[in-house]
């Protein structure tokens, strides 16, 4: 009986500890990444705002469902869906996109800034201002996930796509 109690008690304590630590971690985080793409600003901008073409070059998407000109749903490889909306657009230099889905344990915005370089290439800076609401997910993302992974993946997929055009 004592072994059964210990076998049940330890996982409960671990989950409680993870929740407790996660509760006191900050909800918000900022991640930032830059890449220089050997293509003009207009080409990079066009690829970023051509959301209906995302599945042609983004490795992390299974499908994209267009809701309207500023809102779309991205379908991941496991059929997970996230709704996004454009909240600011200053072509071809600045785009702000937010998660427009209240039912998720996370949210945030992505700021895309494109700057023409002297050699005609484009510097793409992406800043993620994210939030993780669930303390257990907050713990996991803080200690085990790279906060720049998704924006770096986007940048590398975009670079490969735009330089092939």
Q: Mind spelling out the 3-state secondary structure of 55-82? A: HHHCCCCCEEEEEECCEEEEECCCCCEE
CA torsion 151-157-163-165 (nearest 10°) is -120
Coil, strand or helix: which one is 97? strand
Percentage with pLDDT > 90 across the chain: 87
Q: How far apart are CA 38 and CA 121, in angstroms?
A: 5
Pair 129, 28: CB distance under 8 Å? yes
Q: Count Cβ atoms below 10 Å from residue 134 Cβ, excluding itself.
A: 16
pLDDT for res 121: 97
- Domains and their CATH numbers in the chain: 2-164 (3.30.530.20)
Verdict on whether the full-model pTM lies above 0.85: yes
Average pLDDT over residues 88-117: 96
């Amino acid at each position: 009986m004592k072994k059964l109690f210990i076998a049940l008690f330890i996982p409960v304590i671990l989950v409680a500890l993870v929740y407790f630590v996660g509760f006191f971690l900050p909800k918000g985080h900022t991640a930032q990444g830059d890449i220089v793409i050997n293509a003009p600003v207009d080409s990079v901008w066009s690829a970023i705002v051509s959301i209906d073409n995302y599945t042609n070059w983004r490795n992390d998407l299974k499908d994209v469902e267009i809701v309207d000109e500023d809102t779309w749903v991205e379908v991941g490889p496991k059929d997970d869906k996230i709704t996004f909306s454009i909240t600011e657009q200053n072509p071809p230099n600045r785009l702000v996109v937010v998660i427009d889905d209240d039912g998720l344990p996370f949210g945030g915005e992505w700021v895309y800034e494109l700057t023409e370089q002297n050699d005609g290439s484009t510097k793409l800076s992406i800043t993620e201002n994210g939030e993780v609401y669930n303390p257990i997910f907050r713990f996991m993302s803080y200690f085990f996930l790279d906060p720049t992974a998704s924006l770096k993946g986007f940048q590398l997929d975009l670079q490969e796509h735009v330089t092939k055009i």
